[in-house]
Chains A and B, each alone.
Chain A
Amino acid sequence: MKHRTKISLIAGACLVLSLAASSLVLHRTDLLRPQATLDEVLFLNSPKLIKRASLGYDGLMACIYWTRAVQYFGSQYHHNTPNYNLLAPLLEITTHLDPHLTVAYDFGSSFLASRQYGAGEPERAIALMNYGIQNNPDDWRLYYDLGFIYYMELTDYKGAADAFDRGSRVPNAHPFVKILAAQMAQHAGEYQTARMLWSATYQTTKDKQIKENALEHLRALRVDEDVTHLQEAVTHFGERTGRLPASMTELIGSMGLPKVPVDPDGHPYKLTPEGRIEVRQPDDFSFATQGLPPGYKPIPKFHSQP
């Protein structure tokens, strides 16, 4: 073997070994300092400063901050951390860097607004949506999202009706928005309106994840509605007979139904000895608010088939 080849082989082997050793040591060091590299830090929190510092490449910076917001939200949610302090600043920076990045308003507002699955800051979500509408006045989806927050998170029919009404006047707005505006103005039944909102979301979005999310909400709404009706029937039965129904068969017999109602997956609802109506597989209805065992904490998962 030539001398030069020998040296090359030794140097190559040293390179690979050193790289492997340094990676191993770094991995061990990370274990000693858990979360050291993942601290919640927003070194620069002024959107204007970041825009200036981006030297005109603000579009790319907006994409980076949006990805950071998504990762932050996902990480907090995944680790069940109730603290979403950085979410609003991250979204504000993202939208300031690129005011036309509508996906940041669309998803960001739902991350911010939801009390059940998000930061529970509907007021900041509304401020974000208003900033989005100000910069993209011809995008009817933003008015729709704003109305959605007013209705779902604040139960503010007036605010929702106003948002849907403004959205319905935007050229090429989906016809649903006009109907929703009218429905909000009439303070329509909750389940019916919620179903309409989620159906509109399901039909108008092209995004697979939003579709799945809307579908999951529609399934949960059906469960909520069924359980509410059945629970009312249990109450009526108690008022009439002075006792709880002994079985689901007795309950549906008193309601005049031919068979036991089933959930969207085809499983019959069950009646507990305490007189509660519950679903058999609560994990399959992550957004349901009715029919869950006491103290049950849902784990969101999505179905791709209606």
Chain B
Amino acid sequence: MRARIAHIASNTFREAVRDRVLYNLIAFVLLLSGAAILVGQISIEIEKLVVINLGLTAVSLFGVVIAIFIGIGLVSKEIEKRTLYTVLSRPVQRWEFIIGKFFGLAGTLVVNAFFMAIGVFGALFYVSHKFVRADALILVALYFIVLEFLIICSLSLLFSSFSSPLLSAVFAFSLFVIGSFAEDLRNFAGMAHGLSRWLAMGAAYLVPNFSAFNVISSIAHEQPVAGQLVLHNTLYALFYAAMALSGAVLIFERRDLK
């Protein structure tokens, strides 16, 4: 079982690399090095802040875009090209296919984020000429970004398991935007009464909450992140991704592929 999942994951990773997904790293390097040089000339005292904010925002946004646009095609593309039938005709379970795809995409994003992190630290060294202890906090922000990717990968797969790529992209991107407003949604629910309160509260807990993952701004100001938050975010991302993947497996298991 593990070997089959690993094979599907490694093939997904290779396919993403063949699709030139990692080319985004070139754009990232250009963006970061350009910003590091330019901001020093056109602004005041925020070179380091910009490198951290821009670097981590780019890691997050590039990853989200890749997760959505690769994730939405993971199942539908296999059906369209009819390669899925070849895979499923072998002793591979449908759920193994979904989980393997998930790990493959997550692996691609982790590798991508790893190289981008090297870029962020490189740019940081360029503007500061040294590293300080607080710079290690960037690793926490990167970890949270990776957790965010896990949720988005699982959601993209969920939508990909039953919908067309275009609609899946719309759904996944909408959930990403709504997830950024999840705390507002919970505040609105708190203000409502009766049934609408419960419905709003239910919606607030159902959509992913990305606001707790975004610590970029506070880390740019060298503010420490509580260990509790690291633990809670890890558990939340794992549970949420598991929930979305379970949904994807449930749908895909019952889907008529004829």
Contacts and interface: CB of A to CB of B under 8 A. Distances in A.
Interface stretch (A59-67, A268-276, A292-300): A59-67
A8 interface: no
Interface in A7-36: none
Contacts of A207: 44-45
Nearest to B223: A100
Nearest to A206: B45
Nearest to A74: B42
Contacts of A101: 46, 49, 221
B217 A62 contact: yes
Contacts of A100: 217-218, 221, 223
B60, B184, B217 pick with most chain A CB within 10 angstroms: B217
A38 interface: no
Nearest to A56: B214
Interface string A80-115: 000000000000000000101101000100000000
A103 B43 CA distance: 11
B211 interface: yes
A56 B218 CA distance: 12
A101 B48 CA distance: 12
B33 interface: no
A67 B39 contact: yes
Contacts of B57: 57, 59-60
B220 interface: yes
A70 B210 CA distance: 32
A204 interface: no
B50 interface: yes
B135 to A, nearest CB: 15
B63 to A, nearest CB: 13
B87 interface: no
B10 interface: no
A63 B42 contact: no
B181 interface: yes
A59 B42 contact: no
B246 interface: no
A59 B220 contact: yes
A56 B39 CA distance: 22
Contacts of A56: 180, 210-211, 214
Given A55-B180, A67-B39, A98-B217, A60 B44 contact: no
Contacts of A103: 44-46
Contact of A209 (B44, B177, B216, B218): B44
Given A70-B43, A70-B44, A63 B53 contact: yes
A66 B42 CA distance: 10
A60 B53 contact: yes
A137 to B, nearest CB: 14
Contact of A52 (B181, B210, B217): B181
A58 interface: yes
A67 B177 contact: no
B54 interface: yes
B53 A107 contact: no
Nearest to B221: A100
Contacts of B44: 66, 70, 103, 107, 207, 209
A63 B54 contact: yes
Interface in A189-210: 207, 209
Interface string A164-196: 000000000000000000000000000000000
Interface in B37-78: 39, 42-46, 49-50, 52-54, 57, 60-61
Given A60-B54, A63-B39, A103-B45, 8 more contacts: A57-B57, A57-B60, A59-B52, A63-B54, A67-B43, A100-B218, A100-B223, A103-B46
10 contacts: A56-B180, A56-B211, A59-B217, A60-B50, A62-B53, A62-B217, A63-B46, A63-B49, A100-B217, A100-B221
Interface of B: 39, 42-46, 49-50, 52-54, 57, 60-61, 177, 180-181, 184, 210-211, 214, 216-218, 220-221, 223
